[in-house]
Amino acid sequence: MQFSIDDFGTGYSSLTYLQRLPVSFLKIDRSFVRDIETDEGDRAICKTVMALGHTLNMSIVAEGVETLAQFAFLEANGCDRFQGFLFGRPVALAQL
């Protein structure tokens, strides 16, 4: 069984969860991904979350990837997996 911490860095997410739960995936919240092209703070947070997760042997998932520039930055800095409109939009089950 594998667990993921969704929306890491927002709401009730806590570093304590990283120690106490058997987490396999750490998901970077879309609010940090959205402005990585223009915001140094968001770039620093994304890099830090990736480094932290990898140090703890977790795979990193970036949420809300919508542009090639976001994807390029995240991939170049070690992100393992990606979610977002860049890769596909939601569709009805019948279309899937």
Angle between helices 40-55 and 68-76 (to 10 degrees): 40
- Phi-psi domain of 57 (left: phi exceeds 0; alpha: psi -120 through 50; beta: other): left
Mean pLDDT of 4-28: 74
Q: Which residue has the higher pLDDT, 93 or 16?
A: 93
Mean pLDDT of 81-95: 89
Annotated catalytic residue 63:
yes
At 17, list the tokens. Answer: 């969860």
pLDDT digits over 21-35, tens only?
Answer: 788 889 999 999 999
Name the pTM for this structure.
0.82
Active-site pick, 37, 40, 63, 66: 63
pLDDT at 5: 67
Name the pLDDT band for 96 (thresholds 50, 70, 90). Answer: confident
